[in-house]
Amino acid sequence: MSKNYNISVVIPTYNRYEVLKRALASVYSQTHQPKEVIVIDDGSNDETSLIKKLFPQVKYIYQKNCGVSSARNLGIKNSTCSWIAFLDSDDEWHRDKLALHVEFHKNNRDILMSYTDEKWIRDGIEVKIPKKFHKFGGDIFEKCLSHCIIAPSAAMMHIDLINRVGLFDESLEVCEDYEMWLRVTCRDKVGLINEKLITKYGGNDDQLSVKFWGMDRFRVHALEKLMNLELHLEQKKLLRETLVKKYSVLLKGAIKYDKMLEIEEYKIKIERYRFE
């Protein structure tokens, strides 16, 4: 693995010109400066293109609206550095974030991905983060099965790891990060920098977690996809148990709303994964 710590920052964005300015300001205030910053404009029709005038050093790339995974992947493909740090355009980094990633990887050269803890702001007020999003380091596959505990804005990865596990799944409109981290953690250790080094802002109607109901529908797609990989027996067992739990939750919802086709589908899949 290359010993240089040149970093490409990849920022996907869609109609978020105002908060994008905040995100970029947090990047350019880093104590360890990235080598390049790539903004992928995913088909915005607001003032996003004007970001080139405010931050002329940014590598700005426009694409028609194809979704956040496509935008992140395009950023990765256009990066030139060994390390990729992700930042969502409505989030913000704390000034020592990249410096602490570099320090961690200098001391842990066998680990190719690290992430940080985070702070949540909802409608201008800091809120307590639910226990299910508690952070862990090391072999964290089991910890990642139920919910996505790694925010994209918290993560930095080596390009060798991305090349090995593959890019973000562009068929997933949401939970694409959850699916990606599962592919990573089933094989690799992940480092945790146990400090709140990103601020995530919520309360916006255009956020994907607000736009889509029943997020477990997307998580089970990611989990089923993972079943096709060569996993350890214990990992397969944990994966099946998680699928049964999530399908049981979805079954209750289908029964509540009299969705007969979905009821039958979930019953069949519960039996399949319970006894497979």
Query: What pLDDT is attached to residue 212?
Result: 43
Q: Do 193 and 243 reside in the same domain of the chain?
A: no
Burial of 136 (C-beta count, 10 Å sphere; 0-12/13-18/19+): middle
Q: What is the CA radius of gyration of the chain?
A: 19
Residue 159 belongs to a domain with what CATH number?
3.90.550.10
Q: Do 165 and 268 reside in the same domain of the chain?
A: no
Q: Do 116 and 243 reside in the same domain of the chain?
A: no
Q: Do 151 and 255 reside in the same domain of the chain?
A: no
Q: Do 106 and 187 reside in the same domain of the chain?
A: yes
Q: Do 38 and 72 reside in the same domain of the chain?
A: yes
Q: How many domains does the chain have?
A: 2
Query: What pLDDT is attached to residue 274?
Result: 87
pTM across the whole model: 0.93
Q: Do 242 and 187 reside in the same domain of the chain?
A: no
Nearest to 36 by CA among 62, 13, 58, 61: 58
pLDDT tens digits along 132-184: 999 999 999 999 999 999 999 999 999 999 999 999 999 998 999 999 999 99
- Note whether residue 2 is domain-resident: no
Q: Which amino acid is at 3?
A: K
Cβ 200 vs Cβ 120: under 8 Å:
yes
Query: What pLDDT is attached to residue 203?
Result: 67
- Note whether residue 181 is domain-resident: yes
3-state secondary structure of 148: coil
- Note whether residue 191 is domain-resident: yes
**What percent of the chain clears pLDDT 70, i.e. is strictly above it?**
95
- Note whether residue 263 is domain-resident: yes
- Note whether residue 268 is domain-resident: yes
Read off the pLDDT of each residue in 194-207 and give the average, rounded to a whole number: 82
Q: Do 177 and 267 reside in the same domain of the chain?
A: no
Print the domain residue range for 241: 230-275
Query: What pLDDT is attached to residue 134?
Result: 96
Q: Do 119 and 30 reside in the same domain of the chain?
A: yes
- Note whether residue 13 is domain-resident: yes
Distance separating alpha carbons of residues 72 and 31, to the nearest angstrom: 24
Q: Do 145 and 14 reside in the same domain of the chain?
A: yes
